[in-house]
Amino acid sequence: MASSENAVVATGRLREVNAQWRLGVTATGLDRAAKQVRLADGEQIPYDRLLIATGTRARQWPNPDEAALDGVYSLRSRDDAAQLQKALAAPPSRVMVIGAGFIGSEVTSVCRELDLPVTVVERGSAPLVGALGGVVGEIAAEIQRNHGVDLRCGLGVSSLEGDAGGHVRRAHLSDGTTIDADVVVASLGSIRNVEWLEGAGLASGFWGVGCDAGGRADINGVVTDSIYVAGDVARSPHVLYEYQFLAMEHWDNAVLGAEAAAHNMVNLEPHYRPHLLLPGFWSDQFGLNIKSVGVPPFGDEIVFTQGSVKERRFAAAYGRRGRIVAAVTFDHGK
Ligand SMILES: Cc1cc2nc3c(=O)[nH]c(=O)nc-3n(C[C@H](O)[C@H](O)[C@H](O)COP(=O)(O)OP(=O)(O)OC[C@H]3O[C@@H](n4cnc5c(N)ncnc54)[C@H](O)[C@@H]3O)c2cc1C
């Protein structure tokens, strides 16, 4: 964000900007009355306008001792990816992926490309169910199995077991079975970085920081003109989705939401812009390109509109109350 001296910058940009960078320092609190952000080094930074863009972090395996075993990974940052890449190159005798959302499914796909044996444990009925629903999830399940994935749905991992040297060796599943694995990837979704806002009085919590479509932060249902929110941590009402609050964890949303917030931070009310992006993302896995537009979980019916499910090349539309609310394509992006 390029702005006045009093702005707090929490995200990076490629272009040189006239900003004071405070890298490696964590914001630990927000004092709205004094219009100041507290930093971990004790400094208080005043602001005229504040942008909250603290994003999300990977949800770690919930048992800290098991999460600390060598060979247990999560994936969020470039360093996480580099460490996992190194572990997969070793190579392991079997990889276990816990959670078959998009990230878990992409990791699984990479494992199969490397010809590594991989077991996926997903507590839902199929991979990608949360994002794309049960009908497309079943198709994804078949694709994974056809690519040699040992896919186990409707199950959880109860515990991870390590050897005397502290390296993970096996996982115990909720159905009583045990799987030997020496690399475990916990792909359990994300947690929004909102703890530092505790006590600030913003509508923030588990689901993110509430704001209006212009990025203005919500305080008990009233928006403020001095604090803005953008990116993964933001949730705002969307006119196309019955004004429900949506949180979108996609690059497009982070970039365009930040643009709208930045515009509104430095303009007066008649010139405010809404951020009403139609969510969209794509994923390459198992030799397929999957594209999604809109909000599939908002739909309650699905129709295959083009192509062939059998040939794994199709488009499907999601509907709700007679209106199309999302679409997904498999190898049919155009
Ligand atoms: C493995 C993976 C693959 C992905 N692939 C895709 C994809 O293919 N397409 C797509 O559209 N999206 C993808 N995403 C999602 C995309 O990366 C996010 O939507 C995007 O990074 C969100 O940007 P952001 O700036 O809101 O948050 P982030 O990128 O999370 O940035 C937030 C920043 O705030 C910092 N921060 C947090 N708390 C504090 C604090 N208290 N004080 C100071 N700094 C703080 C963090 O260190 C971080 O640098 C992927 C995500 C992951 C994890």
Residue 15 has pLDDT above 70, yes or no: yes
Any atom of ligand 1 within 6 Å of the Cβ of 281 = yes
pLDDT in tens, 205-219: 999 999 999 999 999
Mean pLDDT value across the chain: 94
pLDDT at 242: 94
For range 317-331, the mean pLDDT: 97
- Closest-CA residue to 228 (of 191, 257, 255, 194): 257
Mutate to test the pocket of ligand 1, among 11, 79, 128 (most ligand atoms within 8 A of CB): 11
Residue tagged 């900003």 (tokens): 19
Q: Region of 235 please: left (phi>0), alpha (psi -120 to 50) or beta.
A: beta
Any atom of ligand 1 within 6 Å of the Cβ of 101 = no
Residues 6+ apart with CB under 8 A from 61: 67, 72, 74, 98, 160, 184, 186, 188
Provide φ and ψ at 249, rounded to 5°.
-100, 70
Any atom of ligand 1 within 6 Å of the Cβ of 77 = no
Residue 2 has pLDDT above 50, yes or no: no
Q: What is the CATH number of domain 280-330?
A: 3.30.390.30
For range 176-204, the mean pLDDT: 97
Q: What is the residue-wise DSSP string for 146-179? A: HTT-EEEES--EEEEEE-TTSBEEEEEETTS-EE
pLDDT at 13: 58
Residue 12 has pLDDT above 70, yes or no: no
Question: 142 C-alpha to center of ligand 1: Å?
Answer: 31
For range 138-149, the mean pLDDT: 98
Q: For the chain, which residues make up each domain, given as ranges?
A: 27-56+192-271, 58-190, 280-330
pLDDT at 1: 32
Any atom of ligand 1 within 6 Å of the Cβ of 196 = yes
The alpha-helical segments, DSSP class H, found in the chain are: 64-67, 78-89, 102-113, 129-146, 251-265
Domain at 27-56+192-271, CATH from 3.40.50.880, 3.40.640.10, 3.30.1510.10, 3.50.50.60? 3.50.50.60
pLDDT at 6: 43
CA angle 207, 100, 243 (to 5 degrees): 30
pLDDT at 18: 85
Architecture of domain 58-190 in CATH? 3-Layer(bba) Sandwich (3.50)
pLDDT at 3: 34
For range 80-98, the mean pLDDT: 98
Domain 27-56+192-271 matches domain 58-190 at the CATH topology level: yes
The residue contributing the CA closest to ligand 1 atom 39 is 54
